[in-house]
Amino acid sequence: MVARLPALSLVATPTKRNAILDLAAEADRRGYPAIACPSLGGTLALCVSLAHRTEHIRFFTSIQPIYNATANEAGATAAHLHEISGGRFALGLGVSHAPMNQRLGVRVGAPLADTSDYVSRLRANERFSGPLPPIYLASMRDRMLRLTTEIAEGSIWANAALSDVPRQLERVPEARRDGFALYCMIPTVISDDVEAAAAVNRKTMINYVSMPNYRNYWTAVGYGEEMAAATAAIEAGDRDGIQAAMSDRWLNDCTLFGPAAKVRDRLDEWYSVGVTPVAVMSSVSGGQAKAIGELFDLYA
């Protein structure tokens, strides 16, 4: 049986952008299905380069915050990318996170209403921008997933609990399941040193555990004890305590780490529930390029 390659995440790291594009071209050559482009380093800018430096691979923003650009501007760029990439681009949108919005001085409203209004304005502007690409929405919670099935062509999770995803997918109407894109961004470390790999993911997850919206999600899906301990550590300013609150059970459910065979099997589990996994690579011994090279080796 031919292995199902995961999608992968690429960040346009300052001073290393050309090297990242080389990795994208290699992923394209190797037959990877898609590249997710987080907002770090400029997600739309990276997508413009991908449209020119790759030939077959799909790519999408994951995510472009709706408060960072007007619907007219984002729609014009998205329509441009849709056209010049030959339909390989998708526009992933989300409300981002409260700390980022506060840092940017952004005034936000109700996430569901703001998202629905933004997508409506994107579509209304198509008469000027030209046809839009597929729209994916960050839809971690059930109400946002319901909205996504009504107004978009796909859903993006980040750091979701694999144990809970089948329950959520039952909420996707049968009529929408054919062709409806489903992706999950998953922190991933490949290493025979399991403890070191787990430690890398715990460090990565500190930023997410520090956000109330993620803690609320994980509490709702069965990790109330861990999130209560994390909240107490956050209030005490205890960074080590935040990591200590991340149980092995939680970490195994929401991230991937360990030897190559374990990681590959776990990626297959995501496919088996109907979601394309997006490997967000880190390494115990190097940066993004080293980690992605380890993913390439996994499927060589």
pLDDT per position as a tens digit, 181-231: 999 999 999 999 999 999 999 999 999 999 999 999 999 999 999 999 999
User: What pLDDT, in 10s, does the model give residues 19-59?
Assistant: 999 999 999 999 999 999 998 868 999 999 999 999 999 99
pLDDT of residue 79: 98
CB-neighbour burial class of residue 299 (10 A; exposed 0-12, middle 13-18, buried 19+): middle
| Nearest-10 crossing angle of helices 17-30, 288-298 | 10
Burial 91-124 (b: 16+ CB within 10 A, else e): bbbbbbbeeebeeeeeeeeebeeebeebbeebee
User: What pLDDT, in 10s, does the model give residues 251-292?
Assistant: 999 999 999 999 999 999 999 999 999 999 999 999 999 999
Q: How far apart are CA 294 and CA 191, in angstroms?
A: 9
Residue 190, both tokens: 């490949």
Q: How far apart are CA 261 and CA 96, in angstroms?
A: 33
pLDDT of residue 2: 64
What domains, with CATH codes, occur in the chain?
Answer: 7-195+256-298 (3.20.20.30)
User: What pLDDT, in 10s, does the model give residues 239-260?
Assistant: 999 999 999 999 999 999 999 9
Residue carrying the six token digits 């409260």: 98
Listed in order, strand segments (DSSP E) in the chain are 7-9, 34-37, 58-61, 64-65, 89-94, 135-138, 154-158, 181-190, 256-258, 276-282
Amino acid, res. 48: V
Residues with Cβ within 8 Å of 88's Cβ and at least 6 positions away in sequence, in order, are 51, 54, 56, 57, 58, 59
Residue 233, both tokens: 């550590």
Residue 155, both tokens: 């859903």
Residues with Cβ within 8 Å of 290's Cβ and at least 6 positions away in sequence, in order, are 283
For residues 66 and 95, is the Cβ–Cβ distance under 8 A?
yes
Q: What is the DSSP letter of 9?
A: E
User: What pLDDT, in 10s, does the model give residues 95-149?
Assistant: 976 666 666 677 778 999 999 999 999 999 999 999 999 999 999 999 999 999 9
Query: H-type helices in 152-287, by residue range?
Result: 165-169, 194-209, 212-220, 224-236, 239-244, 248-254, 260-272
